[in-house]
Amino acid sequence: MMKRGLGLLLAVAVLLSFSGVANAALTTIGTATYGGHGYNLIYASDQHLVWLDYTRGYDGWFYQMSWAAGLNTAGVLTYHLNPGISVAWSGDWRLPNTVDGPYVWGHDGTTTAGYNITTSEMGHLYYTELGNKGYSDASGNYQSGWGLYNTSPFTHLVPGYYWSGTEYALSPGGAWGFNFGYGSQDVGFKDGDFYYALAVHSGDVGAPVPIPGALLLFAPGLAGIVALNRRIGRRG
């Protein structure tokens, strides 16, 4: 009975270590050469997305859509993945997606526009994976420490509006955007507004994603449990 209990404890400890630290991990898996320069490829494990750490300058929505689609042309990007890394790509390079719906502004993350929204890919990146705060908290109050303070492992994110690839269905002239400066989501005019662009690609990284530091700290404790289990086994 003691052996089974220790074995169960060990299994649970391993599962908790991985699920508790690695779900929202951002990992640099290599680089892509674009325009003669190398830019990091950053894997978001919880969304199964690979981000290209390159910000394209201000432009209209149609031009940014065309730019992202052009990344899929052979030879535009040259990949240099880290040793041992493999990626099962799906779909194409594109602008990030947003959940579309009737325009409702809010603060608690349940609306289509406003603050603390994590249902869009950029909102999820800003709040959940990078751990930044919006200008407004969930109750609509100003909160200190808001803004794009945390960017690592990105080096080319800027605190401004970025286009998503999602059109606003209720108005053909609009598309959704996300402000990495304030943490807000809103609708912009395709022909009249000029936003930055960030490209993303769906995919799954095969291995090896580096082990989170917290798991490394927990490893000695796991080793102790294994040793104790062996001693008890010999006595039995």
| pLDDT (tens digit per residue) in 170-216 | 999 999 999 999 999 999 999 999 999 999 999 999 865 454 444 44
Domain holding 51, by residue range, is 26-211
> What's the mean pLDDT in 142-161?
97
Residue 38 lies in a domain: yes
Give, rounded to a whole angstrom, the gap between the first and last alpha carbons of the chain.
11
Split into its structural domains, the chain has a count of: 1
Residue 203 lies in a domain: yes
Residue 4 lies in a domain: no
Phi-psi region of 174 (alpha: psi -120 to 50; beta: other; left: phi over 0): beta
The pTM (predicted TM-score) of the whole model is: 0.79
Task: Kindly report the average pLDDT of the chain as a whole number.
Answer: 85
Residue 23's pLDDT is: 40
CB 221 within 8 A of CB 200: no
Residue 19 lies in a domain: no
